[in-house]
A and B are shown apart, each in its own frame.
Chain A
Amino acid sequence: MYNQKTLAIFKNPTNAGGLQGANGVAKVVDKTFGDVIKIYLKVNDNEVIEQARFKTMGSVASIAVSNVLIDLITNKSLEEAKQVSNDNILEVIGSLPHERLCEIETAIDALKGAVADYYKRKEKEQKAQNN
């Protein structure tokens, strides 16, 4: 059973939707349940996440966790964002049904993927400029 905090976040996720001009994007499929979490980042030249959004297909847990993760990384540097842990998310949400804890891992994997995508795009841009 989900706690009230999780249900409240799930009912009104404040960070859901796509993001125009995102320069770091990744989608991860959860290995256990097949939930899909996609993270969009808009990172500025100082490598600070100015804006972030998510799109998720899955359980109450996946949607709530995605939303909390976006709150935790917005206005944070990429280095800080990469430090966000399972515990940081659980501190906000309180608890999750045991079998749904893996959704936190999926969301963090999507974030890592989006950060990697940002660096990949940046490297590509720099190469293009050097040429």
Chain B
Amino acid sequence: MDRKVYLDNAATTYVSSEVLNEMMPCYNTIYGNSNSLHSFGRDADAMVDRARDKISKSINANSSEIYFTSGGTEANNWAIKGLAHANANKGKHIIVSKIEHDSILESCKELENEGFEVTYLNVDSEGLVSVAELLHYIRKDTILVSVMTVNNEIGTIQNIKTLASIAHDNGAMFHTDAVQAIGHVQIDVKDMGIDALSMSAHKIYGPKGVGALYVRNGVHINKFMQGGNQEKGKRGGTVNVPGVVGFGKAVEVAVRDIIPNNQKLKTIRDYFLRNVMEKIEYVKYNGHPYQKVNNIVNLSFEMIDGESILMLLDMEGIAVSTGAACSSGSIEPSHVIRALGVSEDVARGAIRFSFAKSTTKDDIDYVVETLVKVIAKLRAISPITKTGRAK
């Protein structure tokens, strides 16, 4: 049988059996519309409430502060535009980092077209947002600062508490895209001073098509979608009950197992990294040396192209990514890797390996063995040498 190893878990994970088992009754037993008054509806609503409760507890929020969405992208769109529009009377300046997900950056562009002003903060060579720059650019009319907790391409963990505190000291709200953080980093919205936070289920062994936006009680946000009175009237549309229930279970499991999973992932990540660095020359590590999650490693293989590496690995049954999966149709080198200040040549050879809690050392052995061959094959036909001259 052909061997398959999936190392693209930052793009999406499989749905765990625990989650799937929790969801199944919502398809054929407890299938009511959670907004209906009858018992079918009330039963479904009770399950949605339980999920909301689990999710709120996981980040130390109140359940009334959790709004379900169709995923992280919707949560990010809603947060940026909903907060900006609801608070435009206080100012029209927003600050985000240059390495945010496209759902943040594109939402900011939309706001710029409406007359908002957006400042994009640089990151250092390890992917950390510059606190000094935030202090420099924040001003009286800044209404919102948004910085992701964990970057989806390089795994760097930002100093959220510090950034949020600077935002608050200057009268601005603080939002964070925590899609890649849940289950990897402990989040406490009260302690960290987070006013709004985006989450997604399918990065943590939950179903696709469901996420949430946390909005602190007292923070003004415009409604996202016109419709019924679901989600306190802020996000109309029949609630995706199976998805929400699966999301709740996925969060519960992620938080319950955060310590053993992190230990396991660290062992796998370190084993992978050590082996690659020992066996392959001219590899650049992209990201922070220690302020990082354990499931993501981003490496640039110099003198060759990322797409070719990805496709040759795919032909051997190994799935990796050249950048954010959402932009895999895009041909530009990753905006995140470029923001680290690396050259175009190094940026184009960047590959993200992202591990699952089920990834084994045997999987890693197969991947490294294959990677050694793939890199050697592509370098043998590359006209580029380390000095940049043709062979």
Contact = CB atoms under 8 A, between A and B. Distances in A.
Interface of A: 2, 7, 10-11, 13, 16-18, 27, 32-38, 54-60, 62-63, 99
B20 interface: no
Interface string B302-320: 0111011001100100000
Interface string B358-389: 00000000000000000000101111100000
B124 interface: no
Given A18-B391, A99-B331, A60 B311 contact: yes
Contacts, number: 56
B311 A57 contact: no
A11 B315 contact: yes
Given A10-B311, A17-B380, A27-B383, A58 B390 contact: no
A46 B61 CA distance: 81
Contacts of A59: 305, 307-308
Contacts of B378: 57
Nearest to A34: B344
Given A11-B315, A13-B381, A18-B391, 10 more contacts: A11-B312, A16-B381, A17-B381, A36-B383, A36-B384, A55-B381, A57-B383, A59-B308, A60-B307, A62-B305
A102 to B, nearest CB: 10
B348 interface: yes
21 contacts: A2-B311, A7-B311, A10-B308, A11-B315, A13-B381, A18-B391, A27-B383, A27-B390, A32-B331, A34-B344, A34-B345, A36-B382, A37-B383, A55-B382, A55-B390, A55-B391, A56-B382, A57-B304, A58-B308, A60-B308, A63-B308
Nearest to B305: A58
B180 to A, nearest CB: 27
Interface residues of B, number: 20
Consensus secondary structure, chain B interface? mixed
Interface in B134-180: none
B190 to A, nearest CB: 46
Which of B307, B312, B384 gathers the greatest number of chain A CB atoms within 10 Å? B307
Nearest to A54: B381
B383 A34 contact: no
A39 B71 CA distance: 48
B305 A57 contact: yes
Contacts of B383: 27, 36-38, 55-57
A78 to B, nearest CB: 22
A7 B307 CA distance: 12
B370 to A, nearest CB: 13
